Amino acid sequence: MAEIWYLPVDSESVEGREAQYERPFRDGIELLELTPEKWQCGPGEFPELKTGNPLVDESGYVYVMMRVTEDEVAKYDDKRWKPGWYKSSLTIVGFEKNLRKKPK
């Protein structure tokens, strides 16, 4: 299962946090409107969330992210996808709207 996380821009790890949702990788792609180009880093690393723009980095913005394992990616036919972290362009509100349209 792919993990879906809400991560504030100033996050440096997921230590002490829990994923908000777990969904099959294919569903996560659809719900978060992801493409392979949204890949950020491998699953054992932590993505750099800060943008370098103080207006964004100090705003408290929360990203919707998905972490997927190698096993989950291996089940998917499209080989452009890699294990690791993906950053959605959706806000939490946008993601939650998609989630209501496609329940578990």
Q: What residue spans define the domains of the chain?
A: 2-101
pLDDT digits (tens), the chain, 104 positions: 999 999 999 999 999 999 999 999 999 999 999 999 999 999 999 999 998 888 887 888 899 999 999 999 998 888 899 999 999 999 999 999 998 987 66
- Written as six digits, the tokens of 15 are 């230590």
Q: Which pLDDT value is given to residue 104?
A: 61
**67 bridge partner residues:** 3, 85
Q: Which pLDDT value is given to residue 90?
A: 93
Q: Residues 86, 4, 75, 27: is their CA dihedral positive or negative?
A: negative
Q: Which pLDDT value is given to residue 53?
A: 86
Q: Which pLDDT value is given to residue 60?
A: 82
Cβ proximity of 62 and 56 under 8 Å: no
